[in-house]
A = this chain, B = another copy of it.
Amino acid sequence: MKVKLGANPLIYPIPIVLGGANVKGRPNFELLGDCGLMGINPPLVYISSHKEHYTNIGVLENKTFSINIPDTKMMPIADYCGTVSGHSTDKSMLFEIFYGEIGSAPMIEECPVNLECQVVHEFSIKHRQIFVGEVIQAYASEEYVEEKEGKKGLVDLTRLDPIIYSLDNHYYSIGKSIGIGYAEATRVHNNILHF
């Protein structure tokens, strides 16, 4: 039996990131859950932000942005970035900042993972501006990088320890590794063969 909950975008879990852009030459960061994956090849991600947000000015100016993924230890400072606007507060001093290959997308050293993005598409729906970025380069703090089959990659989510959000306005931590993509289906395939 289903209950109607209205016209609500109740998708979960929601990733929590800090979107970064240089606005008038100074780094600014906004707390975002309106972000995610749009494809692996090409490597596409997006951020969606109210058109009045200060970060948008910088994304439109430079056609670049960064996605910085904090861990749960950074929850107070990440949350703080969501409570004050760059219109009235300088957030450039909150973090150690570095730049990558494009040079105009400020990234946060303290975040385990950073994505340097070039805007490849943008559009608006009512007051939302959505910026689709191609990832030019991904960066990770070296303690979160491991070699797997001769290739450098990220450690697992239990070590990356991301902040997870839900529209009940709560933050959550990650749980346990419970399965492997495209391998869990074997139980279904086997059943189908038996029937």
Contact = CB atoms under 8 A, between A and B. Distances in A.
B178 A171 contact: yes
Give the copy number: 2
A181 B15 CA distance: 13
Contact of A177 (B76, B172, B189): B172
A contact face: mostly helix, strand, loop, or mixed: strand
A42 B155 CA distance: 36
Contacts of A168: 153-154, 156-157
Identify which of A11, A69, A83, A138 gathers the most chain B CB atoms within 10 Å of its CB: A11
B76 A185 contact: yes
A4 interface: yes
A171 B39 CA distance: 18
Given A34-B38, A44-B125, A170-B157, A185 B82 contact: yes
